Structure 1
Amino acid sequence: MKMTTNLQRRKLLKYAAIGIAGAITYPSWAKTGEFVKVNSMSNDFLPDVEIELTMNTADVAILNGEKTRVWKITGKVITGPSNVLDNNEGTYLAPTLRFKKGQKVRLILNNNLPAQSILHWHGLHVPANMDGNPMYAINHGETYVYEFEILNRAGTYFYHSHAHGVTARQVYSGLAGLLIVSDDQEQALDLPSGEFDIPLAIQDRSFDGQNQLVYSAHMMQRMQGFLGDRILVNGQPDFVLPVATRAYRLRLVNGSNSRIYKLAWDDGTPITVIGVDGGLLESPEQHPYVMLSPGERLELWMDFSERAVGTELTMRSLKFDAASHGGMGMMGGRGRGMMGGMMSVSTLPSGSDYPILKIRVAKKEQGHHALPKTLTPITALQVKNAANAANPRTIALSMRHMSALLNGRSYKMDDVQPDEIIPVNSLQLIEFDNGFDGGMHSMMAMPHPMHLHGEQYQVVKREVNPRFSDNYATVSSGFVSSGWKDTVLVMPGEKVTILKPFNDFKGLFMYHCHNLEHEDMGMMRDFLIK
């Protein structure tokens, strides 16, 4: 491991300048050729599905006029049914991958970009060397081979670049896609499927006068996270979804770098949630609105059967208090609104009100689906079964001196500390403290979507410091804390307690803020499972 890490450090120094400058300017010297494998296929691994993925530059039509230069992943099925992959042609989105629980999958990743990169399978329970840790980043002209079994239950998952220090730029440039898993339990429910099961990836982008992506490295953009000026859904601006008068399953994915959404229907219809990061809930939940932070997913049930053909419905992101989303957490409720405007360098500030997508009822059709009262069983984890039930692991989230820190530490490769070593096959009680206990950590409190690699977890409780209660009240009804999670939004002044299993696999598994600018600033660490 030490030798690999030192090699990676040398590689990172060599490619850092190209990766940062090239992520948006795209040097044209990358040529397709023979790719050199940095790891080998296993002779005893017999895949049910084998897919070749290639990262390359491409020009796609996003806005009217000139095409936009992006980084695009394209795929080719080598083994398995053709419908396991949709290349999302005509958009910058990476292929949508569809697998079944229990399948053995081989993914061959070729890098034809002018920079290092690697892909992380966000939410999947896979071995450490298949998880996309930055230490495994491959250079231009190299190939990385992933081999793993799909152990996860049915759900909406996500994959994206995880290159050290440039994840934000690379995801922004197009290196992200959806991964959908099905299983027998889900199939038995007879939920809306096919054209009535709609993935919706929500992202924000900014463009210059020639329709090229603009990514700002402004200090405030780094501190609060990049905020684009336009909302795109499935890679398209001004997205309109035509529907029939029947029930739909809508899979929402927040693929933005840092933008947090407070989603609601504009006519006040409650949001019916049937699933979260790790798949279906035990039973549907209704909320007036739902919060969706970067890396999180939600599955919604929406029935249009009582709506007339020709009617329209808009999903909006509603106003919420973003005062602490910029460094005024020390003011609690008194600082409301100041930083949302003063520190934002986007024309679409965080916490403002704006449309996401429009639904148009286009045709009449008789559907037969009814919302199930029960969905899939979930075994609740018990605090008493945690190896550290009496002594939770606390992870303090802080921003100071242009640094984003976890327990006062910034990211370094091969830098696991004693409190980051966890026994394999153990259940751990973990607290994310975002200024809950006051003190210096609350002085620069900002929202942090906390993502843990490896096996998914359950939320035990959410607690908020009374000084932040006014701000918190603008978002608190939108948290869906049920089910299995891999990303949880921790608001300023809040402490979120989770129970996380660390089963099956040894090695390094990352934990980090999924505000990608914060991640790139160092708000990321490794757990060593042994």
Structure 2
Amino acid sequence: MNDAIEDIAARIVAAVSGSAAGTDGELVPYTDPLTVPPVIRPGRDERQVIGIALRPTWVRMHSQLPPTLMWGYGGSVPGPTIEVRRGQRVRVDWTNRIPPGSPHPVTAVAVERVPGQADPHNRPGRQGAEPDGDVAALPARSVTGLHGAPAGGGDDIRPDDAVEYGCTQRAEYPNDHRAVQWWYRDHARGISRWNAYAGLVGTYLVRDDEEDALGLPSGEREVPLILADRNLDREDEAAGGRLSGRLLHKTTLVTREHPETGRPVTLPFLGPYTTVNGTIWPYLDVVDGWYRFRMVNASNARVYDLVLVDDEDNPVPGVVHLIGGDGGLLPRPVPVDFGFGAPLTIAPAERLDLLLDFRALAGRRVRLVNKAAGQAPGVPDAAWDVPYPQVMEFRVARGEGTDAFALPAVLSRSCRRSEPEDRGFRRRLVVLTPPTTAGGGGRPELWEMEELDDARARPPAPGVVQVRGPDGAVRTYRRTARRAGDGPGFAVREGTDEEWSLLNLGAPLCPVHIPLADCRVAGREAYAVDGFDPALGGTRAPVAYDGGRRIPVPPGEQGWKDVFRVAGGEMVRVRGRFAGAYGRFAYRCTVLEHADAGMERPFVVLPDEVPGFTGGE
């Protein structure tokens, strides 16, 4: 181990051991209480309009830090939790009250990785990099999208319709959906990675009678947990000064150059500090009973691998139960015992509905940590991918022992699994390409594909992909769209069922969000993708199904979802019904740096009668 790595490891150990803030400005974990956002419960009058203003606000992210300038909904970070009943139509005026000329809260820099040294992007401070003046001068443009909601195309995420100071974006949400957790955030095209990072996120809950009948923990025992990683600047970079509290968006330029541009490839943002509801490494006082936690990963790019541990970093079994995900309640509870350190994974934009049973933990403290790859829970890694594994701490006090809640055997009978023979599916293929692909400009892309018959197939060729499926047959596809600015390629009939296959040809792990439709994972399949040639931008040999590498669908994916993690060499098949709204929508990678770089595609949902007149599908 060289001196640089030893120095990094020593600093990590000092920080994790809970030492007081020292000359390098590290923070003591579990110092500050968890903040719970305010709640807005609209009345039943459908003429009522909820007004929520986007404003600059000062936030104390940790008691050892000075206040941090952020942007918040309604003056809070995260924004208020909006809570409605199923079928309760709500209108929201999202009004931009961020004054013209206000400095953007985020300092953006890019640093280059030096060969043989640890990746610097996860360290606090700029390491001498100059701030990006274009980001500092950005006008405060915003557009708020309600992620997961089946709303009309005019009320869904409209990244091009950003509003400036004094202007209002009015959205109407019918909320005709089973009990669920959605969430809202800024989606302004090209700059959402900085606007959402500045604090523009919040939770949205829909209630219904089926959920009520379960008697789940509620009130103070139902707590939203919005996870987001952050980085911080230092007061005096040259002197290695203390943390300033200023938000720092630091990305890494990797030394491999893209063959077309000749420029380094920029990796997405990952920050060293985990915030929960806007506070770095908070604690929550609980009593020895059941609690419900509504979790969303609001990070730009970080995937969390969560484990509940005790004071000695040993996993704590029998406490955590997964009861729901993106689209609502699961059919049955899923126990999460962290066997062999197996974590509970949550990618950007995913939601987890968790029950925690603290009844046997009175007088103890347990901690939620982010497990580093190849490390035991609670142990950081010297590569700085997870320099600080801390997330939050639960301090369990002895209550009155009157918690009568019992974990239901069945959660949702409306969450039934549809089998392939139940109904026909319109099938589509979307491929995710590596950042070195010709014509991609050093970025991963989403390609929409159409199948060719033998007479039209001319591989190998740019944009042509051959796939050998589980049945051994080779099918040939050609690219029909690749960029966000390309016109809509998929025309979907409202109320119809579709199966989308998402095939990763070597891109980084991408969580793909499909709006409007609640989908089920029909299968995860392994593929050998070495036949895809990035320099060509197509396959020289078919990418082939790998039957020797099984990828089971985990229990947490047995319910309805709208975000799907797609790893390299993997095809994820998802099925859903596109119903409840018409208009133009966009599916995207939920890594904000990828989406802002164009990794999203529009599609149109039309009334069933319309496609026949327009020539659509």
| TM bucket normalised to smaller | 0.7 to 0.9
- The answer to whether the aligner puts 1:263 opposite 2:322 as a matched pair is no
Check conservation: 2:286, 2:395, Cα contact below 8 A: yes
- Report 1:311-330 matches (<5 A): 311-320=364-373
- Report 1:123-522 matches (<5 A): 123-209=148-234, 210-220=244-254, 223-266=266-309, 267-270=315-318, 271-287=320-336, 288=338, 289-309=343-363, 311-320=364-373, 347=384, 349=385, 354-366=389-401, 367-377=403-413, 378-385=415-422, 387-388=424-425, 392-400=427-435, 401-407=441-447, 409-413=481-485, 415-417=487-489, 420-435=490-505, 442=506, 445-465=507-527, 480-522=556-598
* CA deviation vs aligned residue, 1:462-500 (integer Å, no higher than 9, x gap): 11237999xx99997966211110111111211111002
Structure-2 change in CA distance of 1:153 and 1:410 (3 Å): same
Question: Which one of 97, 102, 111 corresponds to residue 112 of structure 1?
Answer: 97
Structure-2 change in CA distance of 1:96 and 1:222 (3 Å): farther
> Match for residue 337 of structure 1?
none
Report the CA distance between 1:184 and its aligned residue: 0.7
Instruction: Indicate the SS of the match to 2:215.
Output: coil
* CA deviation vs aligned residue, 1:410-468 (integer Å, no higher than 9, x gap): 44346112xx1112211001111012xxxxxx2xx311001011132111111123799
2:54 alignment partner AA: M
Report the CA distance between 1:208 and its aligned residue: 1.2
Report the CA distance between 1:504 and its aligned residue: 2.8
Check conservation: 2:525, 2:550, Cα contact below 8 A: no
Instruction: Indicate the SS of the match to 1:130.
Output: coil
* Alignment RMSD: 2.8
| C-alpha distance in structure 2 between counterparts of 1:182 and 1:307, whole Å | 30
Q: Which of 48-57 and 231-240 deviates more?
A: 48-57
Structure 1: unaligned runs, 5 residues or longer: 1-44, 75-86, 323-339, 436-441
Instruction: Indicate the SS of the match to 1:480.
Output: helix
Instruction: Indicate the SS of the match to 2:516.
Output: coil
Q: Which of 312-321 and 203-212 deviates more?
A: 312-321
Check conservation: 1:312, 1:359, Cα contact below 8 A: yes
Structure 2: unaligned runs, 5 residues or longer: 1-43, 99-138, 235-243, 255-263, 310-314, 376-380, 436-440, 448-478, 531-544, 607-617
Q: Which of 110-119 and 352-361 deviates more?
A: 352-361
The number of residue pairs the alignment matches comes to: 434
Structure-2 change in CA distance of 1:312 and 1:178 (3 Å): same
Instruction: Indicate the SS of the match to 2:233.
Output: coil
Q: Which structure has the larger Rg?
A: 2
Instruction: Indicate the SS of the match to 2:220.
Output: helix
* CA deviation vs aligned residue, 1:213-248 (integer Å, no higher than 9, x gap): 011254359844210120111111121111101011
Report the CA distance between 1:65 and its aligned residue: 4.0
Instruction: Indicate the SS of the match to 1:172.
Output: coil
1:142 alignment partner AA: C
Check conservation: 1:308, 1:361, Cα contact below 8 A: yes
Instruction: Indicate the SS of the match to 1:517.
Output: helix
Instruction: Indicate the SS of the match to 1:186.
Output: helix
* CA deviation vs aligned residue, 1:234-280 (integer Å, no higher than 9, x gap): 11112111110101111111111100011111233154111111111
Give the TM-score taking structure 1 as reference length. Answer: 0.76
| C-alpha distance in structure 2 between counterparts of 1:300 and 1:474, whole Å | 28
Structure-2 change in CA distance of 1:133 and 1:499 (3 Å): same
1:359 alignment partner AA: F
| C-alpha distance in structure 1 between counterparts of 2:483 and 2:200, whole Å | 22
Report the CA distance between 1:523 and its aligned residue: 0.6
| C-alpha distance in structure 2 between counterparts of 1:485 and 1:252, whole Å | 14
Check conservation: 1:70, 1:174, Cα contact below 8 A: yes
Structure-2 change in CA distance of 1:119 and 1:356 (3 Å): same
Structure-2 change in CA distance of 1:222 and 1:425 (3 Å): farther
Check conservation: 1:106, 1:148, Cα contact below 8 A: yes
1:305 alignment partner AA: R
* CA deviation vs aligned residue, 1:493-528 (integer Å, no higher than 9, x gap): 111110021113221111000011110111100111
Report the CA distance between 1:142 and its aligned residue: 1.0
| C-alpha distance in structure 1 between counterparts of 2:484 and 2:572, whole Å | 25
Check conservation: 1:290, 1:479, Cα contact below 8 A: no
* Identity in percent: 28
Report the CA distance between 1:135 and its aligned residue: 2.8
Instruction: Indicate the SS of the match to 1:370.
Output: coil
Report the CA distance between 1:298 and its aligned residue: 0.6
Instruction: Indicate the SS of the match to 2:593.
Output: helix
- Report 1:18-57 matches (<5 A): 47=46, 50-57=49-56
Check conservation: 2:144, 2:185, Cα contact below 8 A: yes
| C-alpha distance in structure 2 between counterparts of 1:122 and 1:388, whole Å | 25
Instruction: Indicate the SS of the match to 2:434.
Output: strand
Check conservation: 1:320, 1:475, Cα contact below 8 A: no
Report the CA distance between 1:164 and its aligned residue: 0.5
Structure-2 change in CA distance of 1:93 and 1:55 (3 Å): same
| C-alpha distance in structure 2 between counterparts of 1:157 and 1:278, whole Å | 8
Q: Which of 253-262 and 397-406 deviates more?
A: 397-406
| C-alpha distance in structure 2 between counterparts of 1:96 and 1:70, whole Å | 18
Report the CA distance between 1:68 and its aligned residue: 0.7
Check conservation: 1:167, 1:520, Cα contact below 8 A: yes
1:364 alignment partner AA: G
